Amino acid sequence: MSNPETSQESGWPLTRSERDWKPWQLFMVLLVTAAATWCYIIGEYVGYYLNLKMGIAAMTAGSMIGMLLVTLAVVPTATRYGIDSIAAARPQFGDRGWIITVFLQYASIIGWNCLLMIFFGKSVGQLLLALNL
């Protein structure tokens, strides 16, 4: 059996010298992800229901709520200890507790992909109607 020399190979939290990101860099990545997700899903439909000022307010509030949830869930453990959300579930849920977070992440991915397939199907339907097929 080989003995891993770095934290990345062993699964243990990263030491400060092994982390190559700063807290503000991680925050910016999560900010962009949350804003893009919110705008992608809701942005198309806001114009149907709200005027410009109310639409901007709704989009801003929704983005900030999404960023808050992602920030509270991931940033404290990721920036302080250098571990991801799945590894961070071990103290709360035990050695097999990672199954809960993996299941939740897979459920989220499956839901997101279903939503993308619905949008794709609607787009193809509209394209076929526009082409009179």
Digit-coded pLDDT (tens) for 6-27? 545 556 666 777 777 777 887 7
Q: What is the pLDDT of residue 105?
A: 76
Q: What is the pLDDT of residue 1?
A: 46
Distance CA 59, CA 46 (A): 8
CA distances from 17 to 9, 20, 83, 91, 102 (A): 15, 8, 14, 24, 28
Global confidence as pTM: 0.45
Regarding predicted confidence, which is higher, 129 or 113?
129
Distance CA 67, CA 70 (A): 5
The yes-or-no verdict on residue 65 having pLDDT over 80 is: no
DSSP collapsed to 3 states, 59-108: HHHHHHHHHHHHHHHHHHHHHHHCCCHHHHCHHHHCCCCHHHHHHHHHHH
Q: What are the boundaries of each domain within the chain?
A: 19-82, 84-133
Q: For residue range 75-117, what is the model confidence (pLDDT) as tens digits?
A: 777 767 777 767 777 777 777 877 887 787 788 788 878 877 8
